[in-house]
Amino acid sequence: KQEVTQIPAALSVPEGENLVLNCSFTDSAIYNLQWFRQDPGKGLTSLLLIQSSQREQTSGRLNASLDKSSGRSTLYIAASQPGDSATYLCAVGGGSQGNLIFGKGTKLSVKP
Amino acid sequence: EPEVTQTPSHQVTQMGQEVILRCVPISNHLYFYWYRQILGQKVEFLVSFYNNEISEKSEIFDDQFSVERPDGSNFTLKIRSTKLEDSAMYFCASSAETGGVLHGYTFGSGTRLTVV
């Protein structure tokens, strides 16, 4: 059974820092991997989608990498801003129908 | 930008009552999903829907749950007889496909269900 773990559970950084969020999964037979952002009491905003054949994806200040063989993905946020404060969720797609298995998230706080 | 719309945003119901949560997926998406998030816990998959039928469901999605696409735009989740442990945020999502490759999900903003 696929398990998704995110480390750290919480992270507090000063504005301007570059940071890395980690995601690991137990079964490397994945279809894709997505990173989401969740603001308190709100829905999930898709940040990046990496297909199983890809190694990384970039969008603005965000870069996500995928290493299927080691069961790991990282989300790199450059030059963090207070507006980046949110919970970041990693989710692994296990089949062609796209059903996702989520990690518990990393709660990020960026202080001005 | 296209959105997935969920209504209501918050519903309070008595234990044992039936509830229907409503979703309007993005119009050209073909895959529809329901997920839930109990407070403080992980987002959990409930069910996926494609081509007017359930394509996959989790252990959570037992006989008290059902989904329907009653017309060309709405996608509903019905909980037949609610229990206290059904209290959670319920998210609807949809996804498109191109050449056999799924695009990223678009999630709705959720319905917070409180069972009292």
Question: What is the reported pLDDT for A16?
Answer: 97
Question: What is the reported pLDDT for B88?
Answer: 97
- Which residue in B107, B111, B112, B113 has the most chain A C-beta atoms within 10 A of its own C-beta, making it the best mutation to test that interface? B107
Could you report the per-residue pLDDT of A4-61, keeping only the tens digit for each?
Answer: 999 999 999 999 999 999 999 999 989 899 999 999 888 899 999 999 899 999 999 9
- The token pair at B103 is 């695009």
At A97, the pLDDT band (50, 70, 90 cuts) reads low
B75-82 mean pLDDT:
96
Selection from A1, A4, A9 nearest residue A88 by Cα: A9
pLDDT at residue B72 greater than cutoff 90: no
What is the length of chain A?
Answer: 112
**Is pLDDT larger for residue B111 or for residue A99?**
B111
pLDDT at residue A96 greater than cutoff 70: no
Chain A segment 46-65 residues within 8 A of B by beta carbon are: 46, 48-49, 51
pLDDT at residue B100 greater than cutoff 80: no
Question: What is the reported pLDDT for B52?
Answer: 86
- CB–CB contact A42 B110 (8 Å): yes
Contacts of B101 (CB under 8 A, 6+ apart): A51
Kindly state the DSSP code that residue B81 receives in the 8-state scheme. Answer: S
**Percentage of chain B with pLDDT > 70?**
99
CA distance A82 to A32: 29
B75 touches chain A (CB under 8 A): no
- Written as one letter, the residue type at A26 is T
Cα four-point dihedral sign A107, A59, A71, B50: positive
The H or E element spanning position A111 is strand A106-111
Q: Alpha helices, DSSP H only, in chain A?
A: none
| B20 neighbors B64 (Cβ within 8 angstroms) | no
Question: What is the reported pLDDT for A95?
Answer: 67
B18-26 mean pLDDT:
96
Beta bridge partners of B19: B79
What is the length of chain B?
Answer: 116
Kindly state the DSSP code that residue B41 receives in the 8-state scheme. Answer: S
Residues of A in contact with B102 (CB under 8 A): 31-32, 93, 96, 98
**Is pLDDT larger for residue A6 or for residue A99?**
A6
- CB–CB contact A98 B110 (8 Å): no
Beta bridge partners of B95: B31
B13 touches chain A (CB under 8 A): no
pLDDT at residue B79 greater than cutoff 80: yes
Could you report the per-residue pLDDT of B80-96, keeping only the tens digit for each?
Answer: 999 999 999 999 999 88
CA distance B92 to B97: 17
- The token pair at A28 is 């490397």
Could you report the per-residue pLDDT of B28-63, keeping only the tens digit for each?
Answer: 888 999 999 999 899 999 999 988 899 999 999 999
